[in-house]
Structure 1
Amino acid sequence: MAMTDQPWSNVEPLPRLNGDLVPVLESVRTLQRAWKAVVASNDPGFREARRRSLRRHAIETGIIERLYDVDWGVTEALVAEGLTADAAARVPDGVISEDVLEIIRSQYDALEFLAEAAREGRDVSVSLIKELHVALTRRQATYTATGPTGLVFQATLHHGQWKTQANHVTRPDGSRLEYTPPEHVASQMDELVLLYRETEGEDPLVRAAWLHHRFVRIHPFEDGNGRVARCLTLLTLLKCDLAPLVVDRRERDRYLRCLDSANEGDLRPLARFFAELEIVALRSELERPPVDVSTAEPAVGALAVLGAGIDRLRVLRAESGASERAARVADLAAAVQERVDAWMTEMAARFGEMLQEVDAQAKATVQSAAPPDDRARFWRWQVVQAARSADFFANMRDGVWWTRLRLAALGQELRYLVFLQKVGQGETGVLALTVYAEMPSRDAEEGARQSADPVVVSTPTETVTWSYTEAPDADWPGTVDVLETTLAAALHKFSSTLG
């Protein structure tokens, strides 16, 4: 996308967006209803899932800003176990400095403050924005600044205070994006809050996208603006009983592209991006963590732990409407798989013809399976990895609906797998499509079990989610987009090895 220099501009009201957002926004509302039917705010599992979401946000928000870096394995440990050095140390080669941990903890505390503000009904205001900045940056004493001569230095960060120096950014294509000059920040922030409150009746994700972008365009603080903007997005969503979405490192490039589209006058990509991340967040919170063995009475030990687990499983299976949700999600999965199979079969025919131009023995085949077929339990490791990458729990109790496209040419093989799997423990009534592609290793020893190298695994937004109340073609264009994007990435890796 060719971009032009953007001088600073006054805050403008939320524009009218066209209907191409309707399917994804409706999917959010449908999933939210399913989420409410399964998750109760006083449920311990829900509270732990929410804490994990906030921990992930606290870690990733600083990584997005290049404030620090944290290994992915360490991140997963901190999310699962808590923001402690001990949690990081349990990861092989897991290292994180105490300074970085302190920054992350302060960001987590700011998110807890935000959640409490939402529970109290506090709305966006200038005073709340300044409080958020103080909370988010309290462990950050300086920021990287550039002087008039181009000299880069560490400047003192003034917490909760508007900037006093003009700032701008030079984008990758060389175009210049100017932020609001210091002398106009106070009036523009007042206008931002006023216009935001006038959008009360709009979809919360559209409101959140507009607020996020317009705040970033003002850039009222010396540093920490992105972190504050993402917090304001969460406040908007939490007040509307939605889950806290997370922009993680894997989504950074798309996030920045969406912001640039908004800078050029099109807010729709950012609104869609937030909607897709909200689907990921709701889906993730449907996971209920296993029984915490640390709470078992020492005197009864293992029996108490097993008994608690069985009691919990009994409750999950007896939940109101569980049988209906299970039946309807199975019908939904079968209908979606039928469409996926047809799409994959058509692609296989095309790929086969193309590959036979360079290898007469080349093959392109499609195979699938579904519960209760025993083959539905194939690919277990790949299913779990795809779900984990997309940040949810893979329910493997009855197996999954899978479709495999296999390409073989010139001694190389690609396996592109599409999974339809239930989300969460119990019968949540939520179904997710994920993707995993792998290439068998050429250098495995003869007679040894063949290993395979992953080449594509779904990111959180490279998925599709349905509630059991939705039609299989609720957002079929979005499904095809995920399939085409991930298959293209897999084919790029595969074709580069041919020859």
Structure 2
Amino acid sequence: MREKNKYYRLWEHIEFNDKWKDCDTSQVDDIAPSWFHRRKVLQENSQEYQEFIARLKREHAIETGVVEKMYDLEKGITETFIKKGFVESYVSNGDTNIPVPKLLNHLNDHIEAIDFIFDIVKDNRELTVGFIKELHALVTRNQDYVEGRDQFGNKTQIPLLKGEFKERENNPSREDGTVIQYCPPEHVHSEMDNLVNLYNQASENKIHPIIISAWFHHSFTIIHPFQDGNGRVARLLSSLILIKNGYFPFTVLREEAKEIYIEALEQADKGEPQPLVNYFSEVQNRLIEKALNIREVSSTSFEEVSKIFSGKLERWQQWKEKKREEELNEARMKIFEFCKKYLYEACENLSSKLNGNASITIEECAPNDQSKQHYYYSQIIKYAKKHNYFFNRNFPKGWLIFRIEMPEDKSYQLGISIHHYGYDDSTIAIGAFLEYLHGDHQNRIDSTLPLDIKPHVISINQDIDAKEKNIKAFLENVLTLTLAQIASEF
């Protein structure tokens, strides 16, 4: 006898509760002010920035369909499409699992939809239920059917209502047979009106746009207002909210879809929204870090470049006159002192546990100390290249060496570098490298050990004290990985 299905009602009446409002966004807040400052400059002058945005749009168009399992696309052709555009002749046999014309139809629908989002922001058009329906019709333009079940529970093809809310249930089943119940069709119209009203209230109340975007995405998915295409539309609407507030489109990469994105959505289903807000923040951080490494001057015209160069020299003089240099020095020193404080605390803590079997010393060079500025340049350059960013050597840097000395002239040293990141003067990176030293000073063997940890990137345009918590968490992670690496070599 067939076991009766279990049901899990996911949908509840949509609300914007305190758990969402209290979510921590410091991960993106640490770096966002530098991006907002840099963005104005890039929008005015940089062709490279315009090309960057075009690549982001194409990446979103591709990945949103892969995540929804509309098609598969090999990584090689994915990178080509992102870089050059959607051209049929680029596709080779085996690059995709559906006919190429059908693939291109889907991709072009998706790219037009994300273009539409940017146009809506530019025109300052309000978010309405009518607009959401319009967006759905655009993104599903070349999709005529959706898989459903008939009255006997058999799979069947159902005509897709484009730009119209669902008229029948669209509740999926999990592997264990549990049926997930979204909002019933008869309540969709009222819930969507409620969703838009709550969004407008949150915006008026100046709730953080990362939180609003994540909340809107989650709320939309538990309503599931359309027969199909809900995931694609949810990510586009989240992108709209982010772009409207100076951020980037929300793109879920295929390798993150199941373990990070879906897991975070399921945590939000259980009333724990912080993981989803964290993921939205991580996506923005990744894109902001790339954008901060975009050059302002990318023109090949001598006259145009000369004009920009002259303007930058003039601004440089104004920068000095306005005592910007003193502000940067103060911020660099404060970050250096945070790092120094934590490393000395860690040194004392670890030394007490080593029972004299090893000794720990710390060497330092503050950003305002000119005598040792040239130390560790090659390590920092190598680190920046590995993590694909521009190490700005025009500004002072600081460093700390956490050295663990062991018997038989063996020692390990962890280098912590505080240096400028990208092309904006307000962005600082805290990087880390690990080296093994063997022998005396004359016959020493140095080698770099794997410590694959990205830099912690922060803006110094706003309150530096508020960033201490995340700096400490970063350094704690670095030290944990360092000790694990050293322990693994015994």
Partner of 1:301: none
Shift of 1:212: 1.2
Q: SS of the counterpart of 1:128?
A: helix
Shift of 1:414: 7.0
Partner of 1:476: 468
Deviations 1:340-365 (A, max 9, x none): 133234334544665x57x94x5655
Partner of 2:273: 267
Distance 1:56 1:284 in 2: 14
Report the AA paired with residue 452 of structure 2: V
Deviations 1:258-294 (A, max 9, x none): 323322224344345434544554454344347557x
Which one of 167, 182, 198 corresponds to residue 195 of structure 1? Answer: 198
Contact 2:45–2:297 (CA<8 Å) still a contact in 1? no
Distance 1:131 1:188 in 2: 18
Shift of 1:71: 6.8
Q: Aligned pair in 2 of structure 1 residues 19, 167: CA closer, same or farther (>3 Å)?
A: closer
Shift of 1:236: 1.5
Q: SS of the counterpart of 2:204?
A: coil
Deviations 1:347-384 (A, max 9, x none): 34544665x57x94x56555555665112523212123
Report the AA paired with residue 330 of structure 2: D
Distance 1:498 1:415 in 2: 14
Distance 2:360 2:403 in 1: 6
Find out whether 1:420 has 2:418 as its counterpart: yes
Q: Aligned pair in 2 of structure 1 residues 72, 452: CA closer, same or farther (>3 Å)?
A: farther
Q: SS of the counterpart of 1:212?
A: helix
Partner of 1:341: 340
Shift of 1:474: 1.7
Distance 1:101 1:415 in 2: 52
Deviations 1:279-316 (A, max 9, x none): 554454344347557x56xxxxxxx5xx8656544444
Q: Aligned pair in 2 of structure 1 residues 213, 153: CA closer, same or farther (>3 Å)?
A: same
Q: SS of the counterpart of 2:112?
A: helix
Question: RMSD over aligned Cα, in angstroms?
Answer: 4.7
Number of equivalenced pairs: 461
Contact 2:401–2:416 (CA<8 Å) still a contact in 1? yes
Partner of 1:374: 374
Percent pairwise identity: 23
Shift of 1:336: 0.6
Contact 1:418–1:434 (CA<8 Å) still a contact in 2? yes
Distance 1:152 1:394 in 2: 56
Q: Which residues of 2 match residues 14-413 of structure 1 at below 5 A?
A: 14-17=16-19, 21=24, 27=30, 30-31=33-34, 34-35=37-38, 38-40=41-43, 44-65=47-68, 79=82, 81-84=83-86, 96-97=95-96, 103-138=106-141, 159-163=162-166, 164-168=168-172, 170=174, 177-202=180-205, 203=207, 204-248=209-253, 252=257, 253-275=259-281, 277-289=283-295, 304=302, 312-319=308-315, 322-323=319-320, 324-351=323-350, 356=354, 360=357, 366-369=362-365, 373-375=373-375, 377-379=377-379, 380-386=381-387, 388=388, 393-398=390-395, 400-405=397-402
User: Unpaired runs of 5+ in structure 1?
Assistant: 297-303
Farther-moved stretch of structure 1 (248-257 vs 122-131): 248-257
Calculate the TM-score normalised by the size of structure 1: 0.72
Calculate the TM-score normalised by the size of structure 2: 0.73
Contact 2:421–2:457 (CA<8 Å) still a contact in 1? no
Find out whether 1:9 has 2:11 as its counterpart: yes
Contact 2:46–2:297 (CA<8 Å) still a contact in 1? no
Distance 1:156 1:410 in 2: 74
Report the AA paired with residue 14 of structure 1: F
Contact 1:377–1:399 (CA<8 Å) still a contact in 2? no
Distance 2:95 2:375 in 1: 42
Q: Aligned pair in 2 of structure 1 residues 225, 406: CA closer, same or farther (>3 Å)?
A: farther
Shift of 1:463: 3.3
Partner of 1:300: none
Q: SS of the counterpart of 2:452?
A: strand
Shift of 1:115: 0.3
Contact 2:137–2:163 (CA<8 Å) still a contact in 1? yes
User: Unpaired runs of 5+ in structure 2?
Assistant: 1-5
Q: SS of the counterpart of 1:433?
A: strand
Q: Aligned pair in 2 of structure 1 residues 313, 399: CA closer, same or farther (>3 Å)?
A: farther
Find out whether 1:463 has 2:466 as its counterpart: no
The structure that has the greater radius of gyration is 2
